[in-house]
Structure formats: C-alpha cells, structure tokens
A and B are shown apart, each in its own frame.
Chain A
Amino acid sequence: MAAPQSAQVLDGRDLYQHRCGMCHQGIGMAVSLLSRRPGDTSNGLLEQRKDLAVEFVTTVTRTGIGNMPRIPRGEVSDPEMKAIATYLAKGGQ
C-alpha cells in the first residue's frame, strides 16, 4: 500500500475509496444516513451526485457536517483532499 505523495499524480477515485469509502460506499454509515434524506436521488452515494463543488466538499470535510466528523490534514492531506474533491465534483469520473 503505497502512501500517496504530493509529488505523485494522485488518483482521486482510489483515494476516495481508501479514505472515504468506509462510510461513503457499500453499507457505510453515510450511505445509510444520506439515503434516508427526503428527496435523495443518489442512493446516498456521493459519486452519483451532480451537485458537489470542490469548495463544498473541501469545506464540509474539514469542518464536519451532520454525523460526519472533521477530517484533519494528518489523515487526508491538502493535495489528497483536492484530488478527492475534484473526483466528486466530476460526478465520480
């Protein structure tokens, strides 16, 4: 498991899976909670959302939202966060 370095090209999809997937994929806590929200059309999956901007993802990840705790830079560095947010902003492309 190579730790992503800022010098390397960061793979947003891979990072999303390894840093966020425990809650935001499969049977994760966030999938369960988001899918219960009125009007949800993405089955609680962020990768299916079309309304996520890079700035929004970055801000709520660092400040926390609802049941989601704040994610420190020790866990997800700024370059990693940018790659993840960009991946989500492109609708998981």
Chain B
Amino acid sequence: MDRTLPPGLSASQLDAALKEFGRAIGDEWVLATDLDRDTYLDHFAVDEAAHAPSAAVAPLTAEQVQQVLRIANQHKVPLWPISRGKNFGYGGAAPLLKGSVVLDLSRMRKIEFDAENGVALVEPGVGFYDLYDYIQQNKLPYWTSVPGNSWGSVLGNALDRGVGYTTYGEHTARLCGLEVVLPSGELMRTGMGAMSDSPTWNLYRYGFGPSWDQMFVQSNLGVVTKAGVWLMPAPESMIGLDLELDNAEDLGWAVDVVAAMRRDGLLQQSPSIGSWLRGAAVLTSRKEWYDKPGALPDEVIAAIRKRFNIGWWSISLRLYGYEPVNEAAAKIIQAQFAKQTKKPMTVTRWKQGEPLNPSPGQAAFAGVPITFPLANAAWHGGRGGHLGYSPVLPANGQAALEQFHRTYDRYREFGMDYHGSFAMGERCIVNVNQVLFNKDDADMMARVGQFFRALVADATEKRYGEYRTHIDYMDLVAGSYDFNDHALRRANETIKDALDPNGILAPGKSGIWPERYRSLRK
C-alpha cells in the first residue's frame, strides 16, 4: 500500500519534518507507524481512506505546540489539531485533508480551578470525566454540563459548539478567555487575557476592542491551548417535568409552548423534543424489532413505543436553582402545557442533601458524564456509525412541523430509520437528526451520501443552514451560506491567508481553504 502523504510533499520531505518534530517534542511522541496512522482514522466514516492522516504528533505543552507550528511552516506540512478526537459523527480524530499530520493535544490535561468564581481553566486534553472527577475529588460546589457523548474534550466540545442538558448547556457561550497559538507559532490570549497577569481573563468576555473568542470556534485560525469555562453553581433544587406526546403532529404546539418560555426566560435550559427511536436505538438492536430493509413500518414503531412506554415524541424540561423559584416556575410551566393537553407531566424533585444517584437516562441532566448514548451506533448490527444533519430553524411550531415532515419523508424515501430531535434555543431550534448506518451493509452505505445531500438541499431551499457538520460535508454546508456570492467565505479566507500564509492549519475546516490548497474545494 502506498504511504499517505500531504499533498505536494515527498516521503523524504515529510520524514525531514517528522524528524524535527521529534527533536522539539521527543521522538516517542511522533506517531508515524502504519498502526499509528490507522488509529486516527474516523471510526464512523463512510470512507475512512478519504481522510487518512500521514502521521500524528502529540505535544505536552503550549511551548511545544508553538515549536510544532513553526516547524510545520518551514516544511509546509498541513496540521489537523484535535483535542481528544472523540467528535464522532463529525470526523472523530481524522483530518479533512488527506495526508495532514494530526496534532493530537490529548496529553495536555491540566486543570486550574477558580473556586470562588466557578471557572475552570482547561487544556484541550481535559475530558468531561476528568473535569467531573476533579470537581468531585476537590468537593467543589459546581456542576459540569456534559454532552450525550462525554468521552470527549470540554474545550474541544465548546469549540465545536457542542451542547449539554443543563442551563449551561450552550457550551460555546460559556467560554471566557482563550490562550491560542496562532499559525505563525505566536502565543496570544484573548479578552482580558491580553493584559498580562490579568485577574479577570476568565471573568469578562470581551476585553478592549474586537473580541476574538468566537474567531477560534469551528475555525482553522489558531490552536487553542487553554480555555476559561464557566460552570453552574450546584443548585439547591432540581425539578424535572417530563411529557410523552402521542402524535407526531403534537410537535407543532409543543414547540410553540416551549419557545415562549425560552424567550421570556421561564425556562433556562434547552430541552430537546426527541422521537421514539432515541431510546430504542441505545437500548436495543434493530433485528429485535424488524428484519427487513427499508424504514421501520408504523406497526413496528407502535411496538417500540409500547415496550418503552413512550410517545411519538418525548420532552424533558429541567429547572435548576433555588427551590421556591423552581416550584413557582414548575407551576407556570405545567399550566402552559395543560392548555394544550390533558396528559399530566411527570414531575421529579431533587434537592441538596438528598443522594444524587441519577438513573442512566437522567445522569446528563445532573451534569454526570455519560457515554451510553453512543451505543446507538450498534442499532443495525455490524460496524455501526452515524452522521448528524442539524439545520437551524426559527423557534416556530409550524416551521418545525413542516421541517419534520420534509425530513421524515426523506428518511422513508431512502429506506432509513428516522431519528430526529428539536433542541429549543432562546430564539431558534437546532433540529438534530441522526443518520444511523451499518458500514457492513454496502447497499445502505451507497445511499448515505445521496441521502445526506438531499437533506441539506431541502434545508437550503428553505434557507436553513446546518450549525455543524461532518468533515465530508464542510464544503457543501459552507457553500449554502451564500449571501452576496459567499462574502463571508471570502472574508474568512482573507483572514486565513493573512494569519496562515503557508496554509498549515486545518486546511478546509468549515469550508475555509488557504490559498495553497484552495483548488481542492469540492
């Protein structure tokens, strides 16, 4: 098999660079065997080889990251930074540009904690479990907010606009102050951190003048080596309000009811209205239910709902904070739902002093890290995987229903099992759909790409853009952001070329291509 190389570089040119990386960070942390390369492939990829790296390097400190970037500039080696590489469904550890060298930051695991202000200053290798353990061991009165796959990096998840389940669930909004190595190798701090030794680096977001934290989110303009992350003070009380919605059409009014309480602030957390497959795909395999290809028929959907005693949609609201405030809010929320359905909400209560031993399904609401939802990749049997299709919609019931029907019809047209949810933001809905597949089913895999493109085309026609996507589709999604003939992309690439003239950092990430590789845009 031919060795994978960066575009335009010979094996000896790459080897010369790898040798220098080794001098800077230690030869043992230049990972360039065939096996090493394979370990950074995307486990969920439709085509793993399309994103094969040429090697990986794993520095331990920001100084070493600086050296790696300087060497990469000298040798024109493209790098693909990963925090912990667990961004499954979006590319995992694999680089967009085949032949890139993975810059693996998972050895950087330092945590500094400001207990007075509830701010963790974390390095990229710090996972949600690490931060949770640190808080438990030090008996700190704070809760983490965790995503459905908490194996990954706290910083990396926030930099990809990942979400959790508590009032701090919009992770990128809780970032405050970054330390960044620019493509040149220069170290920079954002916000108040631009003043050396500032005590407010991680307390005030903006600093003076332009504020750049979001410039390094979903971008390829720097390598973030530290981030301030705000944490939720441990609440006095948590109240759960759960409801099963019997009909697919109930989505419309449910969205409108929740949208109003997100807008006026009654509900501070972002609940997700999810379909019947969400739990079933985690807890069971498809063959227990149905042994034929094509989308699951209605009678099977009914059987799944019956076994798990769930609705067509399930919705879980959570209140955090002082007990009397939560009780008052819960009363108003129940009254709002009662205007639409006779079905009562299931109420659960927890308060400080009681043991917090949440069941698996409840763990993430209490900020306890979880990985079990990843089991849904095994839904079909065989080597599983999934893709996320996540357009952003207005927070409007009619818009949500129309989008649901469009998407549901596409799933059936392509013979795939519908797995959708509507996450309610303050002014919008992020409509996260998972495409679960079986890599050992050639017929199914041949449909995945066409299916995904059809979904994106449907959203684009309605002028809905995706909030996040897999490395296979970054050009496709970036291309849909087309105002004034892609003026934003031109601006992004002007900045890219200015900061990264050699185009070494994550070429193609989020559809942003440096001049050197721009012809590779798909």
Contacts of A70 in B (CB 8 A): 38-41, 43
B93 contacts which chain A residues (CB < 8 A)?
A: 72
Q: How far is the CA of A22 from the CA of B383 in the complex (A)?
A: 21
Query: Per-residue CB proximity of A1-35 to B under 8 Å, as 1/0?
Result: 10100000000000000100111000111111100
Indicate whether B254 reaches chain A with its CB closer than 8 angstroms: no
Contact digits for A25-59, partner B, Cβ 8 Å, 1 yes 0 no: 00111111100100000000000000000000000
A27, A30, A67, A74: the one contacting B384 at CB < 8 Å is A67
Per a CB cutoff under 8 Å, which of A33, A36, A73 touches B31?
A73
Q: A7 CB to closest chain B CB, in angstroms?
A: 12
Are the C-beta atoms of A69 and B134 separated by less than 8 Å? no
The interface residues of chain A lying within 8 Å CB-to-CB of B111 are 1
Q: Are B35 and A62 in contact (CB under 8 A)?
A: yes
- In angstroms, Cα B38 to Cα A32, docked, is 26
A22 with B384: CB separation less than 8 A: no
Cβ contact within 8 Å between B378 and A33? yes
Residues A67 and B375 in contact in the complex (CB < 8 Å), given A72-B36, A72-B56, A74-B29? yes
- Do the beta carbons of A72 and B31 come within 8 Å of each other? yes
A interface size (C-beta, 8 A): 27
Residue in B92, B360, B377 whose CB lies within 8 Å of A67: B377
B378 lies within 8 A of A74 (CB)? no
A27 and B127 contact, CB distance less than 8 A: no
B38: which of A30, A63, A77 is its contact (CB, 8 Å)? A63
Closest to B384 in A: A67
Question: How many angstroms from the CA of A18 to the CA of B61 in the assembled complex?
Answer: 21
Closest chain-B Cβ to A51's Cβ sits at a distance in Å of: 22
State whether A1 and B130 are in contact (beta carbons under 8 Å apart), knowing that A69-B92, A73-B39 are contacts in the complex. Answer: yes
Given known contacts A66-B378, A72-B31, A1 and B56 CB-to-CB distance under 8 angstroms: no
Considering only residues 31-77 of chain B, those with a C-beta below 8 Å from chain A are 31, 35-36, 38-41, 43, 56, 58
In chain B between 369 and 422, which residues have their CB closer than 8 angstroms to a CB of chain A?
A: 369-375, 377-378, 383-384
The secondary structure that dominates the B interface is mixed
| Residue B167, interface by CB 8 Å | no
In this assembly, does B220 line the interface, its C-beta being within 8 Å of a C-beta of chain A?
no
Contact present for A1 and B109 (CB under 8 Å): yes
Contact between B375 and A62, CB atoms less than 8 A apart:
no
**Residue pair B360, A23 in contact (C-beta under 8 Å):** no
- Nearest opposing residue in chain A for B44, CB measure: A69
Task: Report the Cα distance A36→B283, complex, angstroms.
Answer: 9
Are A75 and B84 in contact, CB atoms less than 8 angstroms apart? yes
Name the interface residues of A61-91: CB closer than 8 Å to any CB of B.
Answer: 62-64, 66-67, 69-75, 77
B510 at the interface (CB under 8 A from A): no
Contact at B377–A22, with CB atoms within 8 Å? no
> Which residues on A sit within 8 Å (CB–CB) of B150?
22
- Determine whether the beta carbon of A32 is less than 8 Å from that of B92: no
For residue B451, CB closer than 8 A to chain A, the reply is: no
Q: Are B43 and A28 in contact (CB under 8 A)?
A: no
Interface centre among B39, B129, B285 (most CB of A within 10 A): B39
Query: CB-CB contacts of B95-121 with A at 8 A, as 1s and 0s?
Result: 000000010101101010000000000
B387 to chain A, nearest CB (A): 15
Interface centre among A18, A32, A66 (most CB of B within 10 A): A32
Q: Given the interface contacts A33-B378, A66-B383, A72-B39, does A28 sit within 8 Å of B29 by beta carbon? A: no
Cα–Cα, bound, A73→B150 (Å): 20
- Give the complex CA separation of A74 and B36 in angstroms: 9
Closest residue of chain B to A78, judged by CB? B28
On chain B, the residues within 8 Å of A21 by CB distance are 129
Using Cβ atoms and an 8 Å threshold, which residues of chain A touch B56? 72, 74
Q: How far is the CA of A47 from the CA of B111 in the complex (A)?
A: 29
Q: How far is the CA of A92 from the CA of B287 in the complex (A)?
A: 33
Inter-chain contact B371/A64, CB cutoff 8 Å? no
Q: What's the least CB distance linking A63 to chain B, in Å?
A: 7
Q: Which residues of B contact A33 (CB under 8 A)?
A: 375, 378
Which 9 A-B pairs give the minimum distances between C-beta atoms?
A74-B104, A69-B43, A74-B58, A72-B39, A70-B39, A29-B371, A27-B360, A29-B374, A75-B106
Knowing that A33-B378, A70-B39 are A-B contacts, what are 5 other residue pairs whose CB atoms are under 8 Å apart, sorted by A's residue number?
Answer: A1-B133, A18-B133, A29-B372, A67-B377, A69-B43
B residues with a Cβ closer than 8 A to A are 28-29, 31, 35-36, 38-41, 43, 56, 58, 84-85, 88, 92-93, 102, 104, 106-107, 109, 111, 127, 129-130, 133-134, 150-151, 282-283, 285, 360, 363, 369-375, 377-378, 383-384
Interface residues of A (CB under 8 A from B): 1, 3, 18, 21-23, 27-33, 36, 62-64, 66-67, 69-75, 77
28 intermolecular pairs with C-beta atoms under 8 Å apart: A1-B111, A3-B107, A3-B109, A18-B129, A21-B129, A22-B371, A23-B151, A23-B371, A27-B360, A28-B372, A29-B372, A29-B374, A31-B372, A62-B39, A63-B38, A64-B43, A66-B383, A70-B38, A70-B39, A70-B41, A70-B43, A71-B39, A72-B40, A72-B56, A72-B85, A73-B31, A74-B56, A74-B107
